[in-house]
């Protein structure tokens, strides 16, 4: 069975930093793209970023570019999202979604990030 | 524009057909994919590409595109289809992805 597990969420003050991890099993992680998607409480989905299979190609949505970075360690089947200069609007459940460049079919259950103001 | 617009809510009688739409300029050039999300759960991919269903998705789900509008059609809606549906596609530049605002589907 495929499993995708996010970790590292928590409460962080405005302007602070946090790093999320996404560990996958049951799929060929090194061949797949990793996306991060967030969802504020009671709100819709927002695509945040993606990285290609070897980590050489990353893209971010405008609102986080320059503050967030993402990379992966294929030997550990793990991807990371480093978030800096966090804002209240960054609060939400962060999903790791694994798949392809333009769609993703394996999602974790999410890691909750709360930015206190 | 770099937005995808969905109707906030749609309802359908059990067993009937419903179409959920997604509008945006980028859809003239790019296909949309569709995700279903139920309360407290992670989203589930139901349609990708021109009209492809991942393994395990019932064939009552189908996708289409015309002009600037992508559509998800459920033919013979079932009670378990109740939930939120999100379209996703590239933005006008083709470099980023974006989601529509979501449509809450109620099966009556």
CA distance B54 to chain A (A): 8
Mean pLDDT of A29-44: 98
Q: What is the pLDDT of residues A85-102, one digit of tens each?
A: 999 999 999 999 999 999
Rounded alpha-carbon distances, angstroms, from residue A41 to A85, B39, B56: 20, 12, 29
Q: Would the pLDDT of B1 be above 50?
A: no
Mean pLDDT of A25-41: 98
pLDDT of residue A117: 83
CA pair distance A28, A17, nearest whole angstrom = 30
A58: left (phi over 0), alpha (psi -120 to 50) or beta: beta
CA pair distance B84, B39, nearest whole angstrom = 8
Among A44, A60, A105, the residue with its CB nearest the CB of B99 is A44
Length of chain B, in residues: 108
Give me chain A's average pLDDT, please: 97
Among B42, B89, B101, the residue with its CB nearest the CB of A95 is B42
Q: How confident is the model at residue B2 (pLDDT cuts 50, 70, 90)?
A: confident
CA-wise closest residue to B73 among B20, B22, B37, B12: B20
> Does the CB of B104 have a partner CB in chain A at under 8 Å?
no
- B29-64 burial string, b = 16+ CB within 10 Å, else e? ebbbbbbbbeeeebbbbbbbeeeebbeebeeebbbb
Mean pLDDT of A102-112: 97
Indicate yes or no: CB of A44 within 8 angstroms of CB of B86: yes
**A-chain residues near B99 (CB < 8 A):** 37, 44-47
Q: Quick count: other Cβ atoms within 10 Å of Cβ B92?
A: 17
CA-wise closest residue to B34 among B56, B16, B49: B49
Mutate to test the interface with A, among B26, B43, B85 (most CBs of A within 10 A): B43
Paired sense of beta strands A10-13 and A111-116, if any: parallel
Indicate yes or no: CB of B88 within 8 angstroms of CB of A45: yes
Q: Can you spell out the DSSP letters for B33-101?
A: EEEEE-TTS--EEEEBTTTB--TT--TTEEEEEETTEEEEEESS--GGG-EEEEEEEE-TTSSSEEE--
CA pair distance A47, A33, nearest whole angstrom = 14
Mean pLDDT of A1-5: 97
Indicate yes or no: CB of B43 within 8 angstroms of CB of A44: no
> Does the CB of B90 have a partner CB in chain A at under 8 Å?
yes
Mean pLDDT of B20-31: 96
Q: Would the pLDDT of A7 be above 60?
A: yes
Helix (H) or strand (E) holding B105: strand B103-107
Q: What is the pLDDT of residues B63-108, one digit of tens each?
A: 999 999 999 999 999 999 999 999 999 999 999 999 999 999 999 9
Indicate yes or no: CB of B97 within 8 angstroms of CB of A102: yes
> Does the CB of B102 have a partner CB in chain A at under 8 Å?
yes
Indicate yes or no: CB of A45 within 8 angstroms of CB of B45: no
Q: How confident is the model at residue A38 (pLDDT cuts 50, 70, 90)?
A: very high
Place of tokens 């499993």: A3
CA-wise closest residue to B72 among B83, B1, A40, A101: B83
Q: How confident is the model at residue B17 (pLDDT cuts 50, 70, 90)?
A: very high
Q: What is the pLDDT of residues A45-73, one digit of tens each?
A: 999 999 999 999 999 999 999 999 999 99
Mean pLDDT of B33-37: 98
Indicate yes or no: CB of B99 within 8 angstroms of CB of A46: yes
CA distance B88 to chain A (A): 8
């Amino acid at each position: 069975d495929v499993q995708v597990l996010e970790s590292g969420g928590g409460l962080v003050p405005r302007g602070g930093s946090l790093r999320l991890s996404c560990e996958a099993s049951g799929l060929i992680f090194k061949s797949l793209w990793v996306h991060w998607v967030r969802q504020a409480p009671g709100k819709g989905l927002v695509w945040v970023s993606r990285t290609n299979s070897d980590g050489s190609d990353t893209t971010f949505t405008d609102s986080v570019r320059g503050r967030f970075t993402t990379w992966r360690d294929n030997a550990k089947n793990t991807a990371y999202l480093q978030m800096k200069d966090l804002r209240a609007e960054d609060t939400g459940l962060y999903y790791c979604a694994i798949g392809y460049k333009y769609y993703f079919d394996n999602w974790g259950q999410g890691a909750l990030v709360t930015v206190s103001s | 524009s770099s937005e995808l617009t969905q109707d906030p809510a749609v309802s359908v009688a059990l067993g009937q057909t419903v179409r959920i739409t997604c509008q945006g300029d980028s859809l003239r050039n790019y296909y949309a994919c569709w995700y279903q999300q139920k309360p407290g759960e992670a989203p589930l991919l139901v349609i990708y590409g021109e009209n492809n269903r991942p393994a395990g998705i019932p064939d009552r789900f189908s996708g289409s595109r015309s002009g600037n509008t992508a559509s998800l059609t459920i033919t013979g809606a079932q009670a378990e289809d109740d939930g939120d549906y999100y379209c996703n596609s590239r933005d006008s530049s083709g470099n980023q992805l974006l989601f529509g605002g979501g449509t809450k589907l109620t099966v009556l």
